[in-house]
């Protein structure tokens, strides 16, 4: 009997989970040396196929650009490996001799890996490597627009892992993708944890599945440029971050907020770096094609270059344009380009000073990027400190391209393609996700001390408390006497 497509998809998900569960039972007994060898071979496979996977991703999704996709795949392979290769994830991973505590790492179990269309191959490499580093099997659910390249990346990682000694089925990927299959993957009893990277609806579904989940929210990253900034460098880095893979990284800059006193000079440098500033009429035309009436970004423009967007909007731009900049005066539905735009379009705001700039950045974050990231170009540490202390974000990226700084390519943050947004955004994690987030940590604690107990009468209390204590004692004494009296009466009645 031939099964319908949805039933085939559902059965495929169950088969992959079953195979992953069997592999998990074997993998959990591997030594640190075995695990480290496996991820080294996976790293080698990721590097060797970075260019081919990049070409497949661009060809299938139509998003981003080949060179930056190559870098992403290499970053998810080599840079990630260098960051985690010496990380202890097996057995006793920490001993605190002072407090007499051992910490012991255990895998969480089979992981459901949800993959976005914006980073369909690099995210697979990254999640596969951190899963196996922590001795977890993983099953991927691709985005419907990136099934072929996501499956190819998963296949390469699986082949490399098995060649290095990992059990068959340790990495799986659904080929006949459907919403039913993804739901089955997230809710299956054998799945221990969901590692979700994707749109808000999908992340909410992960948290609503009843399973532990590590999901991340959207980014609407403001880039604040303060008067003390190195303006040529700030302009260079903002354009670099915004145009990296055509804006598909959630940490990429979405709007520039510049102090009025340096705004014109900054615009000059931005133009030199390829930013084309739109006039009011062009802003309206671009707004209509980039943002949908409901406020979401138009899928047609995600990861596209400015030439494509200009043609769609019916405007003319210089050939050398790298990104479009739209001067805006407010945040919200009246200014659609104030929302997150996963493409080569930036908002641009002028503010009187850094105090007003601080408020404008907060408005932008509240419009759709709360908890994620904020970039600041500034050489005044007092102002940087104010932003760090007051803003509801988990990454303040200083004098660096936000897109690359957020994922840890140009900063000291952990290399990651899953950037936690904390409780501000409804996320259970607030930092860049690493193998350590995919472990259960057991603790062995030795007897250290006997708690000191002071007699009640030796405790110091104020006058009011002393009176209350005295009254309570009197009440308690009366209550005890009454109980004794009732008990004696009951005993006498029994004797009779």
Domains along the chain?
5-216+434-444 (3.40.605.10), 221-407 (3.40.309.10)
Between 463 and 187, residue with greater pLDDT:
187
Residue 202 has pLDDT above 80, yes or no: no
Average pLDDT over residues 150-170: 98
140, β-bridge pairs: 113, 173
Mean pLDDT is lowest, of 251-265, 341-355, 463-477, for 463-477
Q: Which H, E and C letters describe the chain, residue by residue?
A: CCCCHHHHHHHHHHHHHHHHHHHHHHHCCCCHHHHHHHHHHHHHHHHHCHHHHHHHHHHHHCCCCHHHHHHHHHHHHHHHHHHHCCCCCCEEEEEECCCCEEEEEEECCEEEEECCCCCCCHHHHHHHHHHHHCCCCEEEECCHHHHHHHHHHHHHHHHHHHHCCCCCCCEEECCCCCHHHHHHHHHCCCEEEEEECCCHHHHHHHHCCCCCEEECCCCCEEEEECCCCCHHHHHHHHHHHHHHHHHCCCCCEEEEEEEHHHHHHHHHHHHHCCEEECCHHHHHHHHHHHECCCCCECHHHCCCCHHHHHHHHCCCCCCCCCEEEEECCCCECCEHHHCCCCCCEEEEEEECCHHHHHHHHHHHHHCCCCEEEEEEECCCHHHHHHHHHHCCEEEEEECCCHHHHHCCCCCCCCCCCCECCCHHHCCCCCCECCHHHHEEEEEEECCCCCCCCCCHHHCCCCHHHHHHHHHHHHHHHHHHHHHHHHHHHHHHHHHC
**Which of 250, 361, 378, 421 is an active site residue?**
250
For the record, the structure tokens of 165 come out as: 């000694």
Average pLDDT over residues 142-167: 97
Residue 470 has pLDDT above 70, yes or no: no
pLDDT at 19: 98
For the record, the structure tokens of 294 come out as: 């409901």
The answer to whether the CB of 406 falls within 8 A of the CB of 394 is: no
250 catalytic per annotation: yes
pLDDT at 496: 40
Average pLDDT over residues 219-229: 97
Residue 326 has pLDDT above 90, yes or no: yes
Between 237 and 479, residue with greater pLDDT:
237
What percent of the chain is modeled with pLDDT above 90? 82
Residue 266 has pLDDT above 80, yes or no: yes
């Amino acid at each position: 009997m031939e099964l319908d497509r949805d039933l085939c998809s559902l059965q495929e998900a169950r088969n992959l989970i079953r195979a992953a569960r069997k592999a998990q039972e074997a993998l959990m007994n591997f030594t640190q040396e075995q695990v480290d060898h496996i991820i080294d071979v996976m790293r080698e496979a990721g590097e060797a196929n970075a260019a081919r996977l990049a070409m497949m991703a661009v060809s299938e999704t139509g998003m981003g650009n080949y060179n930056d996709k190559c870098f992403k795949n290499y970053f998810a392979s080599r840079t990630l490996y260098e960051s985690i290769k010496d990380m202890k994830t097996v057995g006793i991973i920490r001993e605190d001799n002072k407090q007499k505590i051992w910490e012991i790492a255990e895998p969480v179990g089979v992981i459901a890996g949800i993959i976005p269309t914006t980073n369909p191959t690099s995210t697979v490499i990254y999640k596969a490597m951190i899963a196996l580093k922590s001795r977890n099997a993983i099953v991927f659910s691709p985005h419907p627009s990136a099934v072929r390249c996501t499956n190819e990346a998963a296949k390469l990682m699986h082949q490399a892992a098995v060649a290095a000694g990992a059990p068959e089925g340790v990495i799986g990927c659904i080929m006949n993708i459907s919403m039913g299959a993804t739901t089955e993957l997230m809710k299956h009893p054998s799945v221990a944890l969901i590692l979700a990277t994707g749109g808000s609806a999908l992340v909410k579904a992960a948290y609503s599945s009843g399973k532990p989940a590590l999901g991340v929210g959207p980014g609407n990253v403001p880039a604040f440029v303060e008067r003390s900034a190195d303006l040529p460098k700030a302009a260079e880095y903002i354009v670099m971050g915004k145009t990296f893979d055509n804006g598909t990284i959630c940490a990429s800059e979405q709007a520039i907020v510049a102090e009025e006193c340096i705004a014109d000079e900054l615009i000059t440098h931005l133009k030199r770096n390829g930013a084309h500033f739109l006039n009011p009429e062009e802003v309206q035309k671009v707004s209509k094609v980039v943002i949908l009436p409901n406020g979401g970004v138009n899928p047609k423009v995600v990861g596209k270059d400015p030439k494509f967007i200009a043609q769609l909007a019916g405007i003319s731009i210089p050939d050398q344009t790298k990104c479009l900049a739209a001067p805006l005066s407010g945040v919200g539905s009246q200014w659609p380009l104030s929302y997150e735009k996963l493409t080569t379009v930036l908002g641009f705001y002028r503010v009187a000073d850094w105090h007003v700039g601080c408020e404008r950045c907060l408005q932008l974050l509240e419009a759709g990027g709360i908890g994620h990231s904020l970039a600041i170009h500034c050489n005044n540490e007092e102002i940087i400190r104010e932003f760090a202390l007051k803003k509801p974000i988990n990454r303040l990226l200083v004098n660096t391209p936000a897109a690359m700084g957020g994922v840890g390519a140009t900063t000291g943050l952990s290399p990651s393609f899953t950037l936690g947004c904390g409780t501000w955004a409804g996320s259970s994690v607030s930092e860049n996700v690493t193998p350590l987030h995919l472990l259960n940590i057991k603790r062995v604690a030795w007897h250290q001390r006997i708690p000191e107990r002071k007699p009640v009468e030796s405790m110091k209390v104020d006058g009011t408390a002393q009176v209350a204590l005295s009254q309570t004692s009197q009440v308690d004494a009366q209550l005890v006497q009454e109980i004794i009296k009732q008990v004696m009466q009951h005993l006498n009645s029994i004797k009779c």
